[in-house]
A = this chain, B = another copy of it.
């Protein structure tokens, strides 16, 4: 068989790719022998690849464990600190930016409070202040970022524009992708916030490793998102999980069952649901009935998605999921009459950083596609900048 220079280049790239992948996915550092077994490469090829990847900063040698007999085998790890991404959450009440490493670990964050009356212009300024704060906190420049993703309320189209948003009329039509491009040179992505919360739970949270799931945003503004075959499902126009638009689900008005319950009397709209869940937890019959009425409607929309998709898992997220101890059993009971098989239902665990973390996960997906896919460019990335 003839082997040309181009063929060798491809072979080397493939070997590098397989070695990096093995090191990234391993629970700990690997020896040369382990890496050869995992990749199917010869020991000599592994040495060749390892030397190159160490030089370029993708991997690092780990200090050998002391105390054993004889000379300990050298061990290597993927350098998650070789690159940085930033995830942003632009919500009604806050803008949150988080900087993570290539393993999705949070290194710093920046947060700016906003509210429903914040104008579009002010919200965009808040976005940049949150970004700057997160960068300052980790000692980075914008040019150090390998990718940025943003979660916004509303339906986000493929061009990165907020195509439709009921809660903040002033935010509709904002060209987030365009605004990001003004100050960032790395790849950027914009996505709906519930979708990113779902992604975060699947990568870092309660749904780790689950391939197909429905994420429920149970809160004052209900929503839903889908992870299918391990990937975020964007849909043709970004409008997935919109079962609440079916009148018959009652999603549009279901929160009023909580807000208008006797137990909520005198509270602000923001506090009402929490009070009712607290009363229900204490056994208050009126509050329990209100929770059941809310769960009945939440279940109608959920059943539409479960019967469509037959997912492995439903994740209960959103503000109301803080009362999952009360809400989740009510939801499960309400789903039973509608479903062939009620999927496992688990409450969200990532709390209010969920959307920003999901944005970081999406940015990492793009890094993966760019550097670590068979069509990627592992052989010619910019050298990782900040060596630890």
Contact = CB atoms under 8 A, between A and B. Distances in A.
Given A235-B309, A242-B308, 13 more contacts: A1-B45, A2-B44, A2-B48, A7-B11, A164-B340, A212-B236, A228-B233, A229-B229, A235-B310, A242-B307, A245-B340, A304-B304, A305-B308
A112 interface: no
Contacts of A228: 228-229, 233
A12 B387 CA distance: 37
A27 interface: no
Interface of A: 1-4, 6-8, 10-12, 14-15, 40-42, 44-45, 47-48, 155, 164, 212, 224, 226, 228-229, 231, 233, 235-243, 245-246, 248, 300, 303-305, 307-312, 338-341, 343, 374
A242 B340 contact: yes
Nearest to A7: B45
Contact of A343 (B236, B340, B374): B236
Contacts of A343: 236
11 contacts: A2-B45, A3-B8, A4-B44, A7-B15, A10-B11, A155-B340, A235-B310, A245-B338, A245-B340, A304-B305, A374-B374
A14 B241 CA distance: 40
Given A6-B41, A42-B2, A44-B4, A239 B341 contact: yes
Contact of A237 (B2, B4, B310): B310
Nearest to A228: B228
A236 B340 CA distance: 12
A199 to B, nearest CB: 15
A12 B1 contact: yes
Copies in the complex: 2
Nearest to A12: B1
A304 B343 CA distance: 18
Contacts of A341: 236-237, 239
A7 B41 contact: yes
Nearest to A248: B248
**Which 8 residue pairs are nearest across A and B when measured between Cβ atoms?**
A235-B310, A4-B42, A304-B304, A2-B44, A236-B312, A239-B310, A242-B307, A240-B310
Contacts of A14: 10, 14
B235 A45 contact: no
Contacts of A245: 307, 338-340
A338 B246 CA distance: 6
Given A228-B233, A236-B212, A312-B236, A307 B243 contact: yes
Contacts of A4: 41-42, 44-45
A342 to B, nearest CB: 11
A197 to B, nearest CB: 17
Nearest to A243: B307
Contact of A310 (B8, B236, B374): B236
A237 B310 CA distance: 7
Contact of A1 (B8, B155, B212): B8
Contacts of A374: 374
Chain B CB within 10 A, most for which of A3, A4, A7, A312: A7
Contacts of A339: 245
Contacts of A243: 304, 307-308
A341 B164 CA distance: 12
A126 to B, nearest CB: 29
Contacts of A155: 340
Contacts of A310: 235-240, 242
Nearest to A305: B308
B239 A340 contact: yes
